[in-house]
Structure 1
Amino acid sequence: MDKELVFRQAVPHEAPLIMQIIRQAQARMHAAGSRQWQDGYPAPGHISADIGRGRGYVLCRPDTKECHAIIAYGAVVFDGEPAYEALEGKWLTDGPYVLVHRIAVADGERGKGVAAEFLRHVEEMARERGIGAFRIDTNHDNHPMLRLLERTGFTPCGKVVYRSGERLAFEKEI
């Protein structure tokens, strides 16, 4: 993975670019037959709320103008997910955890380890805060994400339910 990549909080003016990456991911999921993210979620309001709460993070590639080209986005949450309290299954740990929602990689960056690098940075942030668990969920038919979770050491723990349906839940001790 490129050592030059920068992991940082997103800023409000980046929301339109982040939405382009989200729309690319929605189109890829649709083309692959996945039902995840096909109901208008995530919408611009979700991204703006993430950024406003300090949860929106980007992975960027430096460009020649000292700006950064955003290549991935995700919401990094340290204060829990209510749906995770009703897990159908069993989590590996009982303590505090970090979780990621809405992770997406730009079309031209897929297959280069970008999502794994994003998750690695989240793990590092969690460790710095003394948090030893990383949770995440995805749709049963989101095969690229399922492969990523397997490759990066996540363990299947059960299912969680959102208004949009059931998701497979995973955890990794860090």
Structure 2
Amino acid sequence: MNSEEITLRKAEIDDKNVIWGIIQQSIERRRQDGSTQWQDGYPNEETVESDIAKGFGYVLTINGEIAVFAALILNDEPAYSSIEGKWLSDGEFVVVHRVAVDEKFAGKGMVKKLFDHIEGFTRSHGIQSIKVDTNYDNIAMLKILESKGYSYCGEVFLAGGVRKAFEKIII
């Protein structure tokens, strides 16, 4: 296990098909779990292309193989400006969206590792906090956020539904 090289890097256009495959697996997993999240045609292939083109797309690789995709967006989530509740801070923040794990790596703590790397990225860029939202029925993500010390801040309205919003102060 210790010989694994885990890195977080910007996604490149050559990664698009692999990333889209991972997102399709996640969409199907959410469906099988009975979740409404990601069941309405979003995210889609254009979402992936857009994330990569805008520089939002990041991949967590294990020995060079893509294990997890996430979109990391700086200071820009219009839905977060109106929260039913209160954010912990009003400084600069990184938004984490569209987290998807390759099923080959599922159940191995990869999303926790992803969040460790995102925290390092946030700290190294001198950004105050990380904000993230998830569906009420995304139990796995809710447990991860709790275990990583994220605070529940309230509700945001996003992608046609109410989402639970969390924040963690990094610096």
Q: TM-score, normalised by structure 2?
A: 0.95
Over 4 Å off, 4+ runs: none
**Structure 2, gaps ≥5 residues long:** none
Distance between the aligned counterparts of 1:40 and 1:170, measured in 2? 25
Distance between the aligned counterparts of 1:58 and 1:106, measured in 2? 11
Distance between the aligned counterparts of 1:120 and 1:52, measured in 2? 25
Match of 2:165 in 1: 169
Alignment partner of 1:79 is 2:75: yes
Distance between the aligned counterparts of 2:62 and 2:91, measured in 1? 34
Match of 1:40 in 2: 41
Match of 2:54 in 1: 53
Match of 2:9 in 1: 8
Question: Aligned ranges for residues 14-25 of structure 1 at < 5 Å?
Answer: 14-25=15-26
Q: How many residues align?
A: 169
**Structure 1, gaps ≥5 residues long:** 63-67
Q: TM-score, normalised by structure 1?
A: 0.93
Q: Deviations over 1:105-148 (max 9, x none)?
A: 11121111111111111111111111121100000001111111
* TM-superposed deviation, 1:99: 1.1
Amino acid in structure 2 at the alignment position of 1:54: G
Match of 1:128 among 75, 100, 124: 124
Aligned-residue identity in percent: 43
